[in-house]
Amino acid sequence: MDDRRPWWRTAVVHEVYLRSFADGNGDGLGDVPGLRERLPYLAGLGVDALWVTPWYPSPMADGGYDVSDYRDVDPRFGTLDDVDALLADAHALGLRVVVDLVANHTSAEHPWFRAALAGGPGAPERSRYLFRDGRDGGAAPPNDWISAFGGPAWTRVTEPDGRPGQWYLHLFAPEQPDLDWTSPEVQEEFDDVVRFWLDRGVDGIRVDAAPAMAKVPGLPDAGHPPGATFASSEWVGNPHWDVDEVHEVFRRWRRIGDTYDGDRLFVSEAVVNGPERLARYVRPDELHTTFNFDYLKAPWDAGALRRVVDGTLAALAPVGAPATWVLSSHDETRHVTRFGRAHSGAAVMGFDAAGPADLALGLRRARAAALLTLALPGGAYLYQGEELGLPEVEDLPADALQDPTWERSGRTARGRDGCRVPLPWSGERPPFGFAPDGVAPWLPQPEGWRALTVAAQDADPSSTLSLYRAALRLRRELLGEQPLSWLDLGDGVLAFSRGPGFRCVVNLSDRAVPLDGLGRVLLASGDASAGLPPDTAAWLAP
């Protein structure tokens, strides 16, 4: 590999959903000290970096994506000293650390929002948010915008004099009021927040809800049909999503980031309409990389996956940004389960159409998909637990569900808790080493996960954990920035080379694919001794 290229161009980043990774203080919730203790596991897995979901003080209306103080750590997650120790240990192990920046909205408990409520209509404190008078004499929301968690994107406040008053915008939960990014005060505050974390030594920043940060002036109706749900990958010219002015924010942050040493990374979460719109987020003076949701949403189908791969690479080439490949996150149904369903593509934010899942089939495909993902050019994001082959937990009792989607959808969409169940590390019963024995994790773990713990898979060469470790090791040895060239092995087969020394074959057909003449099998997700069985993949050295 060419070591002069920035690390993030080819990095494999492990997403740490902090609440569910490891509980260091015995309260049933994951935290920074718990993560710190487990860093050697991540180093041993072979990833390059971790992205840690928000650790800031938060009322947890949306699992920490509702931030009430951007320069501190919630006591349930630890302290700033714990973060400093985490950064030091991670760096000593050769791992980089990316933090999450939630700048589209604050928590409703943020001092700014409290001041905005207390100030009343017309108060300067309201100009940091999007307060508006309602229609129909004030009784109806100012426009037809909708929340990603279901329902309208507006909530009416009670004014300090006790009367029903203005409405404020929240593209997510009501506890997450949207900031007005045309406010110079908002812009300057976040310049400072970005510097605060870069000064502390973080290696990168993940930009939450990036396309949401600019709105069309005047806040015109979007034309959403009644009962519409968020479908940002289909919207064209939407006034509250992917509005062109949003790019000014990224240019601003990039100018700040570029004053730091060490190739600091900005990566955006941006679910937008197609790869060309996505490429705009990673133009040379904007963010460095962006999650590829088209890949995550693609069904288990060779044609669909190839179209996404080609479309992504073609759209990113002109701006010179590397792709990122991602199959799962804390917002979507785990891909073991998705790939076992008749409709195997993902929806985003917990609105997946469920359906029976064949988990044995899903796991076979997920293992093959791991080899595909890690063989594609660019970087990759792994969601904690996918290296263990964890499925979605679909039978969480209703009273355990905490995702705001559940209530806001009128209890029709169960939301994202099923992919957030705490990790099983060891032992025969919950909490499986996630928390001290006898402590109940914040979401219940299935008893059946005893077979999926890190300890259970550790020494088993056929385990999913061993497959990921082997793939990450080989990837480091063999793959850099070599371009992809497709090979034709017939319908339903994705096959490509990366330079003269590497080939990847993924069989999405229902027949075995002969591997004769393709080279020596370096790694396979199933038994490839008599050709490549359906729903498996192999890496080969020609």
Least Å distance between CB 65 and ligand NOJ? Answer: 3
Q: Which residue is nearest to ligand NOJ (CB)?
A: 65
Among 51, 65, 250, 502, binds ligand NOJ (CB under 6 A): 65
Q: Cα-flanking dihedrals φ and ψ of residue 504, to 5°?
A: -125, 130
Contact 124, 186 (CB under 8 A): no
Among 67, 117, 146, 209, binds ligand NOJ (CB under 6 A): 209
Of 65 and 325, CB closest to ligand NOJ:
65
Least Å distance between CB 100 and ligand NOJ? Answer: 8
242 binds ligand NOJ (CB under 6 A): no
Measured between alpha carbons, how far is 173 from 178 in angstroms, rounded to an integer?
Answer: 10
Measured between alpha carbons, how far is 323 from 293 in angstroms, rounded to an integer?
Answer: 11
Measured between alpha carbons, how far is 529 from 535 in angstroms, rounded to an integer?
Answer: 15
Two tokens at 462?
């056929």
Two tokens at 1?
């590999």
Which residues on adjacent β-strands are paired with residue 98?
Answer: 51, 204
Q: Strands of 493-498's sheet, edge to edge?
A: 484-487, 493-498, 503-507, 536-541, 520-524
Measured between alpha carbons, how far is 240 from 274 in angstroms, rounded to an integer?
Answer: 17
Among 15, 144, 175, 269, binds ligand NOJ (CB under 6 A): 269
Least Å distance between CB 128 and ligand NOJ? Answer: 17
Radius of gyration for the chain, computed over Cα atoms and rounded to the nearest angstrom: 23
Least Å distance between CB 102 and ligand NOJ? Answer: 5
Spell out, one character per residue from 312 to 341, where the chain touches ligand NOJ: x when CB under 6 A holds, - when not. Answer: ------------------xx----------
172 binds ligand NOJ (CB under 6 A): yes
Considering only CA atoms, which of 435, 430, 399 is closest in space to residue 414? 399
Residue that the structure tokens 């219940």 belong to = 444
Among 62, 175, 203, 242, binds ligand NOJ (CB under 6 A): 62
Of 212 and 321, CB closest to ligand NOJ:
212
Size of the site for ligand NOJ (CB under 6 A): 9
Of 372 and 419, CB closest to ligand NOJ:
419
The full DSSP string for 75-125 is TTT--HHHHHHHHHHHHHTT-EEEEEE--SB--TTSHHHHHHHHH-TT-GG
Of 204 and 431, CB closest to ligand NOJ:
204
DSSP reduced 3-state for 536: strand
Of 62 and 417, CB closest to ligand NOJ:
62
Of 74 and 331, CB closest to ligand NOJ:
331
102 binds ligand NOJ (CB under 6 A): yes
Of 293 and 468, CB closest to ligand NOJ:
293
Identify each DSSP E strand in 22-115 by its residue range.
49-52, 96-101
Residues that bind ligand NOJ (CB under 6 A): 62, 65, 102, 172, 208-209, 269, 330-331
